[in-house]
Amino acid sequence: MCLGIPAKIIKISEGFATVDIGGIEREVSTILLEDEPLIDEYVLVHVGFAISKLSEVDAEETLKFLKEFSDEIY
């Protein structure tokens, strides 16, 4: 039930955003986000609320770590 789904913001209105969740459009509340949502950003959606922005920088960092990690093994 604590499932959160990454969704891409495609439209923004007062307190809400239309997001694309794997090809399906849905309206979610953005009032729990601490920073302004922006078009094309990804958010984590839980029971109709965006609860966190997904950080591209941090995702890239993990991926970079994974790459170095794989290189190290071989």
Partner 1 sequence: MKYIDEFRNPSIVNDILTSINKLVIKGRSYKIMEVCGTHTMAIAKYGLRDILPDNIDLVSGPGCPVCVISQGEIDAIFSLLEKEDVILFTYGDLMKTPGSNNESLLTYKAKGVDIRIILSPIDMLKEIENTNKELIFVSIGFETTSPANAILIKEMYKRKIKNFSVFPYNKIMPGIIDVILRDKDLNIDGFICPGHVAAVTGTNLFEPIVKKNRAAVVAGFEIIDILLAIRAIVLQVNNGTFRVENLYKRVVSDNGNSLARQHIDDVFEITSSIWRGVGSVERSGLALKDDFQQYNVLNKFDLIIESIYDKKGCKCGEILMGKKSPYECSLFSKECKPESPIGPCMVSTEGTCAAYYKYMVKSEHY
Task: By CB under 8 A, name the binding residues for partner 1.
Answer: 1-4, 6, 8, 22, 28-29, 31-34, 42, 44, 46-49, 51-52, 54-56, 58-59, 61-63, 66, 69-70, 73
Q: How far is the CB of 39 from partner 1 (least distance, A)?
A: 15
Q: Is the dihedral of CA 26, 30, 34, 39 positive or negative?
A: positive
Q: How far is the CB of 57 from partner 1 (least distance, A)?
A: 8
Q: How far is the CB of 22 from partner 1 (least distance, A)?
A: 6
Which residue intervals of the chain are DSSP H helices? 56-73
Q: How many residues are given for the chain?
A: 74
What are the phi and psi torsion angles at 47 (to 5°)?
35, 50
